[in-house]
Amino acid sequence: MDVIFQVPVTVMLIIGSVWKVADLIRARHDRVLRMLAVCLLLLTTGEILSFPEARSAIDAVTAVGVGKVVYNGVYMSGLSSLILFFAASVRGAPPAVYSRQVRLHTGLFAATLAALAAAMSATPPALRGHTLHSPHLAEPAVAAFYVIGGVYFVYAYLTSGLWALRYTRMASRHLALGLRAMTLGLFGLAITSVNRVIWVYLRIHSPGSHRLIDTVNRAIADLALGTVLIGLGLSAGVQLLTHLRSIARHRRMYQELTPLWTALSTAYPEIVLHREPAASRWDRFRFRRTHERFYRRLIECRDGLVRLSPYLTRVAPGTDLAHCPPDRLAGHITAALALKPAAEDPDAAWPAARVALPSGNDLSADAGELIALSTACARETREQAATHAAAR
């Protein structure tokens, strides 16, 4: 792999690893996310070990050849984790099916790593620093090392590509585009692995450099890796854009709930689940807790309406509070808040009523209903303020 591709791949994998590990800290029981984080960490470590300087450093503190085995083992484990990530992402698959996939791919990886270690151990110490361009590639242990590794890489890239292609059917349109590019790149890398096995065979049975095959294969590998990079960039970009849109949406909805929340939390301070310190200017740019704050405000508004509902039934007897239009319900809320005494009798038991029920059963419908009511409350407050100002 040329450095022009090796460095960007390493940087992207480091960024992806940090991103997904941070997500995993907030969702430690998410199996799919955990597998993706492990996969990225292993592939990142493998890419770092792919630099000759890293492998030489390992050889310096252990023995010649250990760095090559460690590099292949870490990188292969990352590809195995990638396969398991796609397998874990399939919705509706029985746990037994996933467990079978884990046993199969883990077993193949372990057997391959053991075979590579055995081949390196069987190689004469003077030859353990070999590469694909070494003149003694016909040595059985050396040839076995590259053939075994090449066959595993063919299997790993091909299987990952097939799983990615299958996953595109369940992904959104934009994410599927990135996954298709990754699939194409993984298939290309599988082809280069096949070519390397063929090259080893030719070097053994027909000694010579066969430089044309090597040159063409490097060009295919660079093109395939570039395609994988494009796919990763598209997929990551779609996920980031979706995340930012979700944050912006929840932040907007959080603000839209403020008029209703303010009225209810003033009347019932105890409904506030957790009071945060006053936000600084810097806190406005922190996205981490936006979702949590929105969900909490939604719950607090619902709790406040339940607490206020006995007074709503008194100011609007016979009214279907569950399906009352927001403008009318906002007026009833204003009247109910005026009726509520400053200190309620703790022994009084008032029957609660259902208020502002959403048309659907999902969270978005509930939020939409409360936002419509909050907007109506804000309008009611402005009209009352204008009326009082005119009366003066």
Residue 206 confidence (pLDDT) above 60 = yes
What does the pLDDT average to over 373-389?
Answer: 84
CB atoms within 10 A of CB 81: 22
Q: What is the domain partition of the chain in residue ranges? A: 3-248, 257-274+287-391
Residue 146 confidence (pLDDT) above 90 = yes
The string of pLDDT tens digits covering residues 305-321 is 999 999 999 998 988 99
The residue among 123, 118, 227, 242 whose CA lies nearest residue 171 is 242
Q: Is 208 left (phi over 0), alpha (psi -120 to 50) or beta?
A: left
pLDDT-based confidence at residue 216 (cuts at 50, 70, 90): confident
Segment holding 178, helix H or strand E: helix 173-205
- Confidence (pLDDT) at 20: 87
The string of pLDDT tens digits covering residues 337-363 is 998 887 776 666 678 889 999 988 888
- Confidence (pLDDT) at 282: 43
CB atoms within 10 A of CB 218: 14
Distance, in Å, from the CA atom of 166 to the CA atom of 290, rounded to the nearest integer, reads 33
- Give residue 116's identity as a one-letter amino acid code: L
358 contact partners, CB below 8 Å, separation of at least 6 = 365, 366, 368, 369
In this prediction the pTM is 0.73
State percent of the chain over pLDDT 70.
91
Candidate from 16-30, 91-105, 110-124, 268-282 with smallest mean pLDDT: 268-282
CB atoms within 10 A of CB 325: 11
- Confidence (pLDDT) at 38: 92
